[in-house]
Amino acid sequence: MPFAGQSVVRPLYDTLLVSQVALAATVVPLALIVLYRGLKRRFFKHRRLARWVLPIWLYVSITGVILYVMQYRLYPASATIAGVTP
């Protein structure tokens, strides 16, 4: 869906979107590996990987909400461009 924001907001939105999508694609397999190692009681390996996965997962979660707010609440014109009513 096209984003209606302009000027300084547009590069910020694009940067957040690209980083969020790329990290969201990597966090799923990493989270599954962390879960598997925890269930198999391989706590040393679990903890070592979880230290990296948790901040990535938090970033993906928070930026997802920020992107939603930017797309549909701060710049709702982008929804009407695509013919969607917010």
**Which tens digits make up the pLDDT trace of 48-69?**
999 999 999 999 999 999 999 9
Q: Which two tokens stand for residue 46?
A: 């679990």
Residue 64 belongs to a domain: yes
Residue 11 belongs to a domain: no
Q: Confirm if 3 and 75 have CB atoms less than 8 A apart.
A: yes
Residue 17 belongs to a domain: no
Residue 22 belongs to a domain: no
Note down the domain range covering 51: 27-79
Residue 3 belongs to a domain: no
Residue 71 belongs to a domain: yes
Count of structural domains, the chain: 1
**Which tens digits make up the pLDDT trace of 15-42?**
999 999 999 999 999 999 999 999 999 9
Residue 50 belongs to a domain: yes
Angstrom distances, CA of residue 12 to CA of 30, 42, 73: 27, 40, 16
Whether the pTM exceeds 0.85: the reply is no
Q: Please, which residues have CB within 8 angstroms of residue 61's CB and are 6 or more apart in sequence?
A: none
